Amino acid sequence: MKAVSIYYYGGPGVLAYEDAPRPHPAPGDVLVRVHAAGINPVDWKIREGHLKEMLHHTLPLVLGWDVSGVIAALGAGVTRFKVGDEVFSRPDIERDGAYAEFIVIRETEVAWKPKSVDHVHAAALPLAGLTVWQSLFDAAALTAGQRVLIHAAAGGVGSLAVQLAKGRGAHVIGTASAKNHAFVRALGADEVVDYERERFETVVGPVDVVFDTMGGDIQTRSWKVLKRGGILVSIASPPSAEAAVAHGGRFAFVFTQPNAAQLAEIATLVDAGKLKASVETVLPLAAAVRGQALSAAGHTRGKIVLQVVGEVGRGP
């Protein structure tokens, strides 16, 4: 099969588009024919070696942990799926990923893909969707009527966060540059702050939840808008316990985990017309280098997806 692997940590030049052995499903695994693979910032962060202390990968490693495809074979003991089922997944990030024609995934990390969207749009959902679910619903326990500030509301995570928070009945405030304001409002945001022209802490009223997708100075300034007893959930960098105490707030750091039950809930929302992934760019597998460069530039609106089956631009 064709795959995009790294043999070394480093810049875009370490990405190798090459022939690789097709993996075999072990007991409890399914073999998935990849139709589309989402690109996420974690892909190029892993490529650059930033997470090597945390994740203990052995190289070579196939990158990419967002996938939609079709079950091609079953490992021993798999009972939930059958060959031909259309599925999506955010598989275990410690194993080979989805920038490939085939991937082996644990059955427990896979769910049936939403029926109402194609593989390209389904592949844009698992990693970002689970990130929002585990941050806003599990960690923050967001409820109707609460106010939530979502940083980078036009990005892959933010664009799903706005819709899911609004769906829960929250008052949603997003940050984005001016070119993305109409997009973020169309997703359901009640207020949009132009982070290039205003300091959000001077214009946003107190919120119950901050969803920090940026870290650094943005995280530090976010404490100022949090109500006492509110929660700052970061997916960018672990918040400071001292800052939380000083502001009378709570904090959580989320590193997204595979979860088939939550994926099934996400698929249900998509098929009910309540959640939609925006895909800004679709590229062939061989163009993973370009996709990662676009992602690393930091201004993706929605998602970038590699289409592995079918002619790019014509749908799978």
Ligand X SMILES: NC(=O)c1ccc[n+]([C@@H]2O[C@H](COP(=O)([O-])OP(=O)(O)OC[C@H]3O[C@@H](n4cnc5c(N)ncnc54)[C@H](OP(=O)(O)O)[C@@H]3O)[C@@H](O)[C@H]2O)c1
Point out which residues bind ligand X (CB under 6 A): 40-42, 45, 128, 131, 151-152, 154-158, 175-177, 180, 195, 213-214, 235-236, 254-256, 295, 298-301
Nearer to ligand X, 68 or 175 (CB): 175
Nearer to ligand X, 176 or 225 (CB): 176
Measured from the CB atom, the residue of 57 and 151 that comes closer to ligand X is: 151
Q: Given the complex with ligand X, which of 102 and 200 has the nearer CB atom?
A: 200
Measured from the CB of residue 21, what is the shortest distance to ligand X in angstroms?
A: 29
> Smallest distance from the beta carbon of 230 to ligand X, in angstroms?
20
The alpha carbon dihedral of 109, 114, 119, 124 has a sign of negative
Q: How far apart are CA 213 and CA 203, in angstroms?
A: 19
**Smallest distance from the beta carbon of 311 to ligand X, in angstroms?**
25
Nearer to ligand X, 74 or 154 (CB): 154
In the complex with ligand X, which residue's Cβ is closer, 106 or 151? Answer: 151
Distance CA 49, CA 44 (A): 9
Please list the residues that pair with 204 across neighbouring strands.
none
Q: How far is the CB of 15 from ligand X (least distance, A)?
A: 18
In the complex, what is the shortest distance from the CB of residue 40 to ligand X, in angstroms, rounded to a whole number? Answer: 5
Q: Which residue is nearest to ligand X (CB)?
A: 155
Nearest distance from C-beta of residue 164 to ligand X, angstroms = 13
CA distance 152 to 117: 25
The H or E element spanning position 156 is helix 156-167
Whether a cis peptide bond, with omega within 30° of 0, leads into 60 is yes
Pair of tokens at residue 186:
């169309």
Please, which contacts does 166-172 make with residues 24 or more away whose CB atoms are closer than 8 Å?
166/190, 167/269, 167/274, 167/275, 168/136, 168/137, 168/142, 168/143, 168/144, 169/143, 169/144, 169/145, 170/142, 170/143, 170/144, 170/145, 170/146, 170/209, 171/145, 171/146, 171/147, 172/148
